[in-house]
């Protein structure tokens, strides 16, 4: 039977870091926290499983993020049969019955490439969905815990936008304004432009920078390649916004989401997701 699995990609950056081991420790520490984060309304997310796969430079992480509805058991309860407040003894019995459990539980797979510290997370398995913004909020929430910040410093987390959303801005002949918000890029990147930008931010002791270019009234911007390259770095490390012919565009509105179709009688959903994760990561390595 033909089935589908969909995933998004998240960039996680620690400064400074000691290669893949830093990111393995980061996720292992986050897992050991056992901390649930509210991602939307009464929906919470929690890292329920984490596994180390492979060895040495080929090691990678896989795991599950569970989402569930967290009930406020200390709030007011209504007895629908009497249309009035529930009896306290009945409420106490309910609290005992639901202690330690939560409803609407569902798990989504994730895959961590330790070398490039890119994380692919399942967003749709055909039954439930987990949006890129929720995933970003969850990881930011976990990595901003005091014990994590004390051990690793401030961790940058952002979903990776699709490339077309950036090209729509920097490739337009009708660009009137562009704003490039850059957070510190990967310190071990092989790209010269990323290394230079990282060094410039480090020299100033800066975590991020924002540069804005606005066209002269009645004119449009003609971006040099240097500015375009900075915008390309900011796609994964920050965000880019632009005014194109009077319309506002932002890479923040277009997270990458890719779907893989597979035959369930020939491949498991887990392996299909892992293949999808490798495809997404390779697409970022080879722009």
Domain boundaries, the chain: 2-71+104-160+255-285, 163-253
Segment 117-125 mean pLDDT: 94
Percent of the chain with pLDDT over 70: 96
The predicted-structure confidence for 233-258, as pLDDT tens digits, reads as follows 899 889 999 999 999 999 999 999 99
User: Three-class SS of residue 233?
Assistant: helix
- Distance from C-alpha of 101 to C-alpha of 243, rounded to nearest angstrom: 48
In this predicted structure, the answer to whether residue 192 has a pLDDT above a threshold of 80 is no
Centre a 10 Å sphere on the Cβ of residue 14 and count the other Cβ atoms it contains: 22
- Distance from C-alpha of 153 to C-alpha of 161, rounded to nearest angstrom: 25
Answer yes or no: are the C-beta atoms of 2 and 263 closer than 8 Å. Answer: yes
pLDDT at residue 186, as a whole number = 60
Confidence of residue 125 (pLDDT cuts 50, 70, 90): confident
Q: Is 4 exposed, middle or buried (0-12, 13-18, 19+ CB in 10 A)?
A: middle
Nearest to 276 by CA among 76, 119, 130, 71: 119
The predicted-structure confidence for 131-153, as pLDDT tens digits, reads as follows 999 999 999 999 999 999 999 99
Nearest to 69 by CA among 96, 91, 36, 95: 36
pLDDT at residue 50, as a whole number = 98
Within 8 A by CB and 6+ apart from 78, the residues are 84, 85, 86
H or E stretch at 15: none
- Distance from C-alpha of 271 to C-alpha of 249, rounded to nearest angstrom: 36
pLDDT at residue 171, as a whole number = 96
How big is the CA angle at 151 (ends 234 and 188), to the nearest 5 degrees?
Answer: 40
Query: Is pLDDT larger for residue 59 or for residue 102?
Result: 59
In this predicted structure, the answer to whether residue 188 has a pLDDT above a threshold of 60 is no
**Bond prior to 282 in cis (omega within 30° of 0):** no
Nearest to 173 by CA among 135, 131, 103, 221: 221
Of 3-7, 184-188, 257-261, 266-270, which gets the smallest average pLDDT?
A: 184-188
Nearest to 207 by CA among 154, 145, 160, 276: 154
pLDDT at residue 207, as a whole number = 81
- Distance from C-alpha of 129 to C-alpha of 107, rounded to nearest angstrom: 10
The pTM assigned to this predicted structure is: 0.86
Nearest to 142 by CA among 119, 113, 165, 172: 119
């Amino acid at each position: 039977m033909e089935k589908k699995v969909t995933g998004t990609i998240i960039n996680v950056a620690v400064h400074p870091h000691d290669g893949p081991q830093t990111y393995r420790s980061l996720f292992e520490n986050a897992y050991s926290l056992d901390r649930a984060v509210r991602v939307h309304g009464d929906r919470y997310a929690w890292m329920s499983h984490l596994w180390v796969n492979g060895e040495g430079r080929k090691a990678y992480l896989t795991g599950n993020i569970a989402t569930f509805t967290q009930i406020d058991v200390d709030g007011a309860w209504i007895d629908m049969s009497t249309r009035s407040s529930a009896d306290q003894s009945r409420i106490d019995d309910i609290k005992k019955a639901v202690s330690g459990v939560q409803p609407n539980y569902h798990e989504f797979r994730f895959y961590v490439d330790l070398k490039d510290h890119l994380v692919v997370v399942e967003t749709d398995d055909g039954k439930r969905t987990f949006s890129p913004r929720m995933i970003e909020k969850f990881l930011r929430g976990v990595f901003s815990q005091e014990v994590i910040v004390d051990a690793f410093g401030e961790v940058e987390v952002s979903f990776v936008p699709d490339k077309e959303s950036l090209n729509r801005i920097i490739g337009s002949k009708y660009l009137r304004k562009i704003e490039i918000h850059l957070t510190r890029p990967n310190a071990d990147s092989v790209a010269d432009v990323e290394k230079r930008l990282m060094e410039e931010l480090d020299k100033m002791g800066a975590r991020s920078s924002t540069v804005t270019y606005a066209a002269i009234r009645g004119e449009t911007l003609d971006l040099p390649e240097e500015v375009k390259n900075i915008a390309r770095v900011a796609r994964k490390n920050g965000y880019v916004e632009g005014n194109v012919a009077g319309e506002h565009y932002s890479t923040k509105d277009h997270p990458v989401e890719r779907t893989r179709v597979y035959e369930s009688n020939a491949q498991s959903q887990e392996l299909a997701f892992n293949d999808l994760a490798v495809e997404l990561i390779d697409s970022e390595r080879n722009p």
